[in-house]
């Protein structure tokens, strides 16, 4: 069972770009569930793309920085639908501990 309401206590920064379909999917899911977050556009925020790559070793987006410390992938490439809300909630909550 999803614990979406527990996400309210977390500081979430979503690293994304406007052209990214997985980013749009994640943003839509966050908006649908009223989850507060900061959007960091890697194309317009100086140093954002470099920070993401340096800290995750990845060039993929979206990624969510939880509490300024731990990164969570904002998509599930192994799943046909590419995003599982319940799984994402669990991953974000685990990163926030």
Q: Concatenate the DSSP letters of all residues of 64-78 into one string.
A: EEETTTEEEESS-TT
pTM (2 d.p.): 0.93
**Domain ranges (residues) in the chain:** 4-80
| DSSP 8-state symbol, 56 | H
pLDDT at position 49 is 96
pLDDT at position 2 is 53
Residue 38 in 3-state DSSP?
strand
Segments in 1-97 forming alpha helices (H): 21-32, 48-56, 85-95
CATH code assigned to 4-80: 3.40.30.10
Report pLDDT digits (tens) over 16-74: 999 999 999 999 999 999 999 999 999 999 999 999 999 999 989 999 999 999 999 99
């Amino acid at each position: 069972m999803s614990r979406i309401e527990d996400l309210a206590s977390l500081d979430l920064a979503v690293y994304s770009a406007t052209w990214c379909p997985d980013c749009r999917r994640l943003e839509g899911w966050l908006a649908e569930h009223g989850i507060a977050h900061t959007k960091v556009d890697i194309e317009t925020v100086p140093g954002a793309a470099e920070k993401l790559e340096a800290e995750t070793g990845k060039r993929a987006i979206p990624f969510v920085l939880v509490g300024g410390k731990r990164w969570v992938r904002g998509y599930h490439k192994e799943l046909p639908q590419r995003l599982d809300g319940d799984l994402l909630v669990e991953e974000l909550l685990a990163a926030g501990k």
